[in-house]
Amino acid sequence: MPAPRRLVVLVSGTGTLLQALLDAAAEPGYPAAAVAVGADRDGTEGVERARRAGLPTFVERMGEHPDRASWDRALLGRVRSHAPDMVVGAGFMKVVSAAFLDGIGAPMLNTHPSLLPAFPGAHAVRDALAAGVAVTGATVHRVDAGLDTGPVLGRAEVPVRPGDTATTLHERIKTQERRLLVEVIRRLARADAATASREPQT
């Protein structure tokens, strides 16, 4: 069996998406595993989950840098030090630069609580309710220099129910986000392993 693909996971909150990846990696044959977890703030449950799992963690606070570009470079250095095959934004609430994406040497994935390209941005669930759509959902996409504009890698629909609030709808979307992220990474990691196995050995 090839070695699991190395994931560096970035979090800002409770880390339920991270936990889904940790649980998946505990299953025999899952082709990816987190090797480090980073955050942009102190005291997140996501970082605590990683520590309980015995993973290296780091926190890169924007307020400790003179400007956003300096923070971005520092975050890049932290991520690159763990040699990722993929970087995963798992509820990471900061926008990274094109220079970060070019520098990490690996694709970056992100989840979003809508069926992109519909409702990009920080208020996707609220915006979907305001628009009166019957169906919204979750998307996993590759991060590019735009805001939620990267190539879609997987989507899952979530019906909007009568009486839904942003909270109740978002909870159902999160369930699909966790499942979808695990499955998309499984598919990409297996494709990477298959490609590597076909490459000539030197």
Q: Residues 112, 123, 141, 170: which is the catalytic one?
A: 112
Give the sheet arrangement for strand 135-142, strand by strand. Answer: 57-59, 32-39, 5-11, 86-89, 108-112, 135-142, 152-159
Tokens of 90: 């798992």
SS3 92: coil
Is 112 an active-site residue? yes
Phi and psi torsions of 2, nearest 5°? -65, 155
Q: Which long-range contacts (CB under 8 A, 24 or more apart) does 149-156 make?
A: 149/117, 149/120, 150/110, 152/116, 153/109, 153/184, 153/188, 154/180, 154/183, 154/184, 154/187, 155/115, 155/116, 155/180, 156/180
Catalytic residues: 112
